[in-house]
Amino acid sequence: MIRFDQVTKRYASGHEAVHDLSFELAAGEMAFITGHSGAGKSTMLKLIGLIERPTRGHVTVNGQNLHGLRRGRIPELRRGIGMVFQDHRLLMDRSVYDNVALPLIIAGQSREEIARRVRAALDKVGLLERERAEPVTLSTGEQQRVGIARAIVAKPSVLIADEPTGNLDPQLSAEIMQLFADFQQVGTTVLVASHDLPLVKRMGKRVLVLNQGRLLDDWRPGGG
Ligand code: ADP
Ligand code: ADP
């Protein structure tokens, strides 16, 4: 689960990217964050992913209040959070397999366990037959799928994605969003930032609307 209690993030520039934000996403729930460019979507995800720290307030992920968390515990907590980025951040000189294996190698898993999990992850995103390919030979949509496989390979309980369809056409975008919904189906808590409001609405999930760092609206499927 993810909880924000009156969270404010002010960058060193003095700019307040997120202001007094409170919301809770239950374990196994899926939501989108939408809003114009600069609304604070990325900042919200960075606060969850322990890339940024709040200036005020508390962020809780998987029952762990991130405030005052000792540095040494950050890697362990990050392993429970899968992150997907718009630019997918793949290592272009490594195979698809190696890219997806990376989090497990860092976590010190055995070769056998890595092989089993990487293939399971690639199977879930429909890329099992491309494991030996180099990312440059894949389409943009396939590259994003590799990024998603890498994010979920360590079976995180929380999956966050920042504009994962930003570079994709509408058809591919819908397919990628459906993949995230599939991960929710198996129990993952999923939070996806996207400015593509028509696509977000079609998914029929909860939508958090950000405007200038403030929570403007919180739509839930079925009205309200
Ligand atoms: P979004 O993802 O909705 O486009 P961001 O969270 O990236 O919004 O940015 C929110 C605001 O914070 C923007 O005005 C942006 O310029 C500013 N901002 C983002 N990152 C930084 C940073 N590292 N330093 C200063 N200002 C930043
Ligand atoms: P339209 O009715 O044509 O979709 P809007 O886009 O302005 O018009 O949305 C109107 C209202 O519909 C919103 O203010 C919100 O209350 C509700 N709504 C929009 N999208 C969703 C959604 N994904 N889930 C639940 N309610 C929604």
Q: Which one-letter amino acid corresponds to residue 29?
A: E
Among 8-12, 166-170, 177-181, 194-198, the range scoring the smallest mean pLDDT is 166-170
Looking at residue 74, its pLDDT comes to 87
Looking at residue 223, its pLDDT comes to 59
At the fourth CATH level, the homologous superfamily of domain 2-80+157-223 is P-loop containing nucleotide triphosphate hydrolases (3.40.50.300)
For range 199-222, the mean pLDDT: 94
Question: Best of 32, 192, 201, 205 to mutate for ligand 2, by most ligand atoms within 8 A of CB?
Answer: 201
Tell the burial category of 10 from Cβ atoms under 10 Å away from its Cβ (0-12, 13-18, 19+).
middle
Which ligand 1 atom lies nearest to the CA of residue 37?
4
The number of the ligand nearest the C-alpha atom of 202 reads 2
Cα of 67 from ligand 1 centre, angstroms: 21
Residue 100's nearest CA partner among 144, 137, 164 is 144
**96 has pLDDT over 70:** yes
Torsion sign over Cα 144, 27, 78, 31: positive
Which ligand 1 atom lies nearest to the CA of residue 195?
3
Around ligand 1, the residues with Cβ closer than 6 Å are 11, 13, 15, 17, 35, 37-43
Structure tokens at 145: 């799928």
What pTM did the predictor assign?
A: 0.87
For 1-18, write each residue's pLDDT tens digit.
Answer: 999 999 999 999 999 999
Contact 152, 188 (CB under 8 A): yes
The number of the ligand nearest the C-alpha atom of 12 reads 1
61-65, 69-73, 182-186 — which one is most confidently predicted on average?
182-186
Cα of 202 from ligand 2 centre, angstroms: 10
Q: Which one-letter amino acid corresponds to residue 87?
A: D
Contact 99, 175 (CB under 8 A): no
User: Does residue 90's CB lie within 6 angstroms of at least one atom of ligand 2?
Assistant: no
For 31-60, write each residue's pLDDT tens digit.
Answer: 999 999 999 999 999 999 999 999 999 999
Cα of 43 from ligand 1 centre, angstroms: 6
**105 has pLDDT over 70:** yes
For range 191-217, the mean pLDDT: 96
Distance in angstroms (rounded) separating the CA atoms of residues 133 and 95: 5
The protein residue whose alpha carbon is closest to atom 18 in ligand 2 is 219
> Interface pTM (ipTM) of the complex?
0.71
**β-bridge pairing 56-61 and 64-65:** antiparallel
Looking at residue 75, its pLDDT comes to 84
Residue 45's nearest CA partner among 160, 152, 211, 163 is 160
What radius of gyration do the chain's Cα atoms show? 17
Contact 130, 142 (CB under 8 A): yes
**In the 8-state DSSP scheme, what is residue 98?**
H
Distance in angstroms (rounded) separating the CA atoms of residues 84 and 159: 8
